[in-house]
Amino acid sequence: MGAPYVSIKRLADNSLSAMLSAVEVYNKPQMTYRDEVAVMLVVNAWELALKATLRQKNRSIFYPKQRGERYRSIGIDDALGRVSARNLWPADIDGPAATANIKALTEYRDRAIHLYNAQGLGAVLYPYLQQNVLNYRDFMLAKFKKDLADSMTWQLLPLGAAAPADAVQFMKVDRNSTMVVEVEEFIKELRHLMDEAQDSGGDMARVATMYDINMQSVKKMSSADLVVAVSPTADGQIAVRKTDPNQTHPYSATELLKKVNTRRKGRKLTSYDVQVICWKESLRDNTKYAWKHSNGASHVWSGDALSYLASLSDERYNALRSEFVAHRRAMANG
């Protein structure tokens, strides 16, 4: 008997339902065990989405059947491994960074029973959960043409009786706490996951994100470290994201090219290839990929730029080279 039939549509739909439930649970004003339940649902949403992605490519989502036992479907760690090994991450999502984000939440889920007494750990989880939802939305749009924003509002504000805890301050663990070992081990694992993602050239903005809710007039928002994004599906609502270009755009042009060549398959790219695609697609004008200080001489590049350039085929680069040569000839002949 072969493996049981699994519907890709059902997997994707159930995944969306799990993520929507996670957001609903997390935003309830009064609920105990909030973080634990929300994280369990988020991890479940990703496991189903990754399995649906594997099934799209006719890949198995089961372990080899053992005699006398039923088929067992793979878990989240194996699903992440198989999607990464088969290069099934969308071009605009950095796989290592998104994986680090998911594994951070998986680590919390696995430790939840031991961390029930660690008050305030949600302050550390929040940046990972927030970025996870954004990663998930991009993933589902790219893979299944399903937009999470169609089923939820983006107008929720994290209102509370106390100001949010500073994650850095929270990491200064109370030495008198009986849970100090568990908490320190958890934070150590988070740092390890982030270090791995960074070492692999991952887009660190995909791992965790912090948001400020700014209650002033839009016309006054002119600080250099703020990016104001108006969602076309959010009725004009404004999300203000505090960014540090040193983290979001860490690569010089030389470093970018080196990391792209390390990651991609095909011929070795040159700075000319980067010049050509920047000409064709105006990458230097897109802050998602490039950033330059007003007084700076050159651009710096993001993990998204790394992922995008590495995803393009030799055929695409060669075609752009030919088009660029034709363009320059036409300009010269004016």
Higher pLDDT, 31 or 103: 103
End-to-end CA distance of the chain: 70
Cα angle for residues 296, 298, 302 (degrees, 5° grid): 105
pLDDT for the residue 201: 66
If DSSP codes are grouped into helix, strand and coil, which group holds residue 98? helix
When pLDDT is averaged across residues 238-243 and rounded to a whole number, the result is 45
* Placement of tokens 């799209």 in the chain: 56
> Following DSSP, what letter does each residue of 18-30 receive, concatenated?
HHHHHHHHHT-SS
pLDDT for the residue 5: 84
Q: CB-based burial of residue 305 (10 Å sphere; 0-12 exposed, 13-18 middle, 19+ buried)?
A: buried
> Which has the minimum average pLDDT: 35-44, 97-106, 147-156, 254-263?
147-156
When pLDDT is averaged across residues 50-59 and rounded to a whole number, the result is 95
Distance CA 99, CA 193 (A): 9
Nearest alpha carbon to residue 283 among 258, 259, 249, 319: 249
Residue 212's φ and ψ, nearest 5 degrees, are -105, 135
pLDDT for the residue 154: 55
Structure confidence at residue 283 as a pLDDT band (50, 70, 90) = very high
Residues 6 or more apart in contact with residue 23 via CB below 8 angstroms: 38, 133, 152
Confirm if 148 and 140 have CB atoms less than 8 A apart: yes
Structure tokens at 24: 């609903």
Check whether 212 has a pLDDT greater than 50.
no
Distance CA 246, CA 241 (A): 15
User: To the nearest 10°, the Cα dihedral for 298, 301, 306, 310?
Assistant: -20
> Which has the minimum average pLDDT: 8-17, 60-69, 86-95?
60-69
Structure tokens at 52: 């649906």
Percentage of residues in the chain having pLDDT higher than 90: 36
Q: What is the pLDDT of residues 151-183, one digit of tens each?
A: 876 555 454 444 454 444 444 444 455 555 666
Percentage of residues in the chain having pLDDT higher than 70: 73
pLDDT for the residue 209: 64
If DSSP codes are grouped into helix, strand and coil, which group holds residue 227? strand
Q: What ranges in the chain are assigned the alpha helix state H? A: 8-26, 34-56, 76-85, 95-111, 122-144, 167-170, 180-199, 245-248, 253-263, 271-281, 303-311, 314-333
If DSSP codes are grouped into helix, strand and coil, which group holds residue 242? strand
Q: What is the pLDDT of residues 78-137, one digit of tens each?
A: 999 999 999 999 988 888 889 999 999 998 888 776 655 555 566 677 888 888 998 999
Q: What is the pLDDT of residues 299-328, one digit of tens each?
A: 999 888 888 898 899 999 999 999 999 988
> Which has the minimum average pLDDT: 19-28, 78-87, 192-201?
192-201
Confirm if 97 and 197 have CB atoms less than 8 A apart: yes
Higher pLDDT, 225 or 278: 278
Distance CA 199, CA 220 (A): 38
pLDDT for the residue 125: 79
Is the torsion defined by CA of 86, 91, 93, 96 positive or negative?
positive
pLDDT for the residue 121: 66
What letter does residue 63 receive in the DSSP assignment?
P
Check whether 237 has a pLDDT greater than 60.
no
Structure confidence at residue 218 as a pLDDT band (50, 70, 90) = very low
* Placement of tokens 């694992």 in the chain: 189
Nearest alpha carbon to residue 206 among 171, 237, 166, 247: 247
What letter does residue 62 receive in the DSSP assignment?
B
Look up residue 323 and give its amino acid: E
Residue 118's alpha-carbon distances to 35, 89, 192, 259, in angstroms, are 12, 34, 20, 39
Helix axes of 122-144 and 180-199: crossing angle, nearest 10 degrees = 40
Confirm if 252 and 301 have CB atoms less than 8 A apart: yes
Its pTM stands at: 0.63
Higher pLDDT, 160 or 226: 160
